[in-house]
Amino acid sequence: MCDCSEHVQDMRYVALDKMLDKYRDSNGKIIPVLQETQDIFGYIPEDAIKTIAETLRIPSSEVYGVATFYGQFHLQVRGKNIVRVCTGTACHVQGSGKILEKINKSLGLSAGKMTTDDLLFTVEPVACLGACGMAPVIMINEDAYGRVSPDDVPEILARYQEKDGEVKCIA
């Protein structure tokens, strides 16, 4: 591990402040603000909520209420690669449960533990991704995979594991 985490954090808050500048006089933009915050941090840290509340003069209880309402927002640290497993009806009928099981098993995760210890993967069962014709579907980051079978899982995951060695420092 590099020792730049302090520095990295500062840069993220600088980015946050800069982003908030855009929204200073906007009314009702908490959701896009939180979305951009999550883009900056990968999740929504408590301190970021405080900063948002203070800068935009919105009660922090309201920001927190919104952040905890929507499924897209995460208040815990997440992995570098987000594996979304579609649990829509079509995927369910086509066996998405077995795909999720296989992914969790491959990564040593479970329903209660969604992020790998090395912070490389976070697995999220999600509501319908809208690619039902391709069921079962998973999405890793922005890449969609259709008609997945449990046997495909190790190979798909491997594509993201290989990249691990390259970048150690998140900055």
Partner 1 sequence: MHSLNEMRHQFRSAYEESQHHIKVVIGLGTCGIAAGGEKIWEAVSRYIETHGAEVEMMSTGCIGMCYAEPLMEVHMPGQPRFIYGNVKPEAAVAILQKHLAEGKPSPEYIIAQDSRGYEAAANIVKLEETPFYQGQVKNVLGRCGIIDPDQIVQYITFSGYEALEKVLSSLTPFEVIQEISKSGLRGRGGGGFPAGRKWEASYHSPGSKKYVVCNADEGDPGAFMDRSVLEGDPHSLLEGMAICGYAIGADEGYIYVRAEYPLAIKRLKKAIRDAESMGLLGNNILGSGFSFKIQIAAGAGAFVCGEETALMHSIEGKRGMPRVRPPYPAQSGLWGKPTNINNVETYANVPGIIRQGAAWFASMGTENSKGSKVFALTGKINRTGLAEVPIGISLRDIVFKVGGGIQNGKRYKAVQIGGPSGGCIPESLLDTPVDYDSLLQLGAMMGSGGLVVMDEDTCMVDVARYFLHFTQEESCGKCAPCREGTMRMLQILEKICDGKGTPTDLDTLESLCRVVQSTSLCGLGQSAPNPVLATLRYFRSEYEAHIYDKKCPAGVCVELLDIKIDADKCKGCTLCADVCPVGAISGERKKPHVIDADKCIKCQACMVKCKFGAIAKG
Partner 2 sequence: MSETTVMINGIPISVPEGTSILHTAQKAGIKIPTLCFHPDQEVKANCRICVVEVEGQKNLMPACATKVNEGMTIKTATPRVLEARRTILELILAHHPQDCLHCVRSGSCELQEIASEYDVRYNRFPQVEADLLLDYSSPSIVRDPNKCILCGRCIEFCTSKQTVNALGLAHRGFDAQVVPSIGQELFESPCVMCGQCIHACPVGAISGREQIDEFMTVAADPEKIVVTQIAPAVRLAIAEAFGADRDQLQMGQLVSALKMLGFDHILNTNFAADLTIMEESQELLERIRNGGVLPMFTSCCPAWVRFAEVFYPDYLNHLSTCKSPQQMFGALVKTYWAEKMSIHPDKIFSVSIMPCTAKKYEAVRPEMTDSDYSDVDMVLTTREIVRLLQMTGINPLKLKETAFDPWMGEYTGSAVLFGASGGVMEAALRTVYEKVTGRVLEELDFTDVRGMDSLKEATIDLDGTIVKVAAAHTLGNARALMDEVAAGTSPYHFIEIMACPGGCIGGGGQPITRSNVQREQRMEAIYVEDRSKTLRKSHDNHEIQMLYTDFLQETLGHRSHELLHTQYSLKRKNP
Site string for partner 2, 67-86 (x = CB under 8 A): -xx-----------------
3, 28, 115 from 125: Cα distances, Å = 33, 29, 12
Within 78-97, the residues that bind partner 1 by CB under 8 A are 87-94
Half-sphere exposure of 91 (CA within 13 A, CB side): 29
Cα(59)–Cα(161) distance, integer angstroms: 41
What is the CB-side half-sphere exposure of residue 85 using CA atoms within 13 A?
26
Q: Which does 103 bind (CB under 5 to 8 A by kind): partner 2, partner 1, none?
A: none
3-state secondary structure of 45: coil
- Binding to partner 1 by residue 66, rule CB under 8 A? yes
Q: Which is nearer to partner 1, 9 or 150 (CB)?
A: 150
| Contact positions with partner 2 (CB under 8 A) in 29-68 | 46, 49-50, 53-54, 57, 59-65, 68
CA 68 to chain centre: 14
Among the residue ranges 12-20, 62-70, 107-115, 154-162, the one whose residues contact partner 1 (CB under 8 A)? 62-70
Q: Which of 11, 65, 108, 118 binds partner 1 (CB under 8 A)?
A: 65
Instruction: Give the residue carrying structure tokens 């798909």.
Output: 156
Contacting partner 1 (CB under 8 A), which of 49, 52, 131, 157? 131
Among positions 18, 113, 147, 163, the unique one binding partner 1 when judged by CB under 8 A? 147
Residue 49 touches which of partner 1, partner 2, none (Cβ within 5-8 Å per kind): partner 2
| Neighbour order of strands in the sheet with 81-86 | 121-126, 81-86, 138-140, 143-145
Q: Which residues of 73-103 are buried (b: 16+ CB within 10 A; e: fewer)?
A: bbeeebbbbbbbbbbbebbeebebeebbebb
Binding site residues, partner 1, CB under 8 A: 27-32, 34-35, 62, 65-66, 69-73, 87-94, 126-135, 137, 142, 144-147
